[in-house]
């Protein structure tokens, strides 16, 4: 799979992970250079738009992402 379309401008990596380059690179390899739909932030972005991605949503919070994008009944 291709690199995530948001990789260069991802708020999570540019803001929250700036001081943790080794961890950031590991997470990028897992979520940004692999299956983008494994990334919670990407799932919300695709379903609801970039402005609706919570600032505190980490890539591994996929269950929370699914709750956010689930249809409300």
Count the domains in the chain.
Answer: 1
What pTM was computed for the model? 0.87
- Tell whether 19 is covered by a domain: yes
Distance of CA 68 to the CA centre of its chain: 13
pLDDT(62) > 70: yes
- Tell whether 63 is covered by a domain: yes
- Tell whether 2 is covered by a domain: no
- Tell whether 42 is covered by a domain: yes
Distances 51 to 11, 25, 30, 33, 58 between C-alpha atoms, Å = 11, 24, 23, 22, 15
Average pLDDT over residues 23-46: 92
- Tell whether 1 is covered by a domain: no
Range of the domain at 27: 7-69
């Amino acid at each position: 799979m291709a690199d995530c379309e948001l990789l260069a401008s991802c708020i999570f990596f540019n803001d929250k992970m700036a001081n943790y380059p080794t961890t950031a690179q590991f997470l990028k390899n897992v979520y940004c250079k692999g299956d983008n739909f494994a990334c919670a932030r990407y799932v919300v972005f695709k379903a609801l738009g970039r402005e609706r991605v919570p600032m505190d949503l980490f890539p591994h919070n996929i269950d929370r992402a699914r709750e956010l994008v689930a249809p409300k009944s």
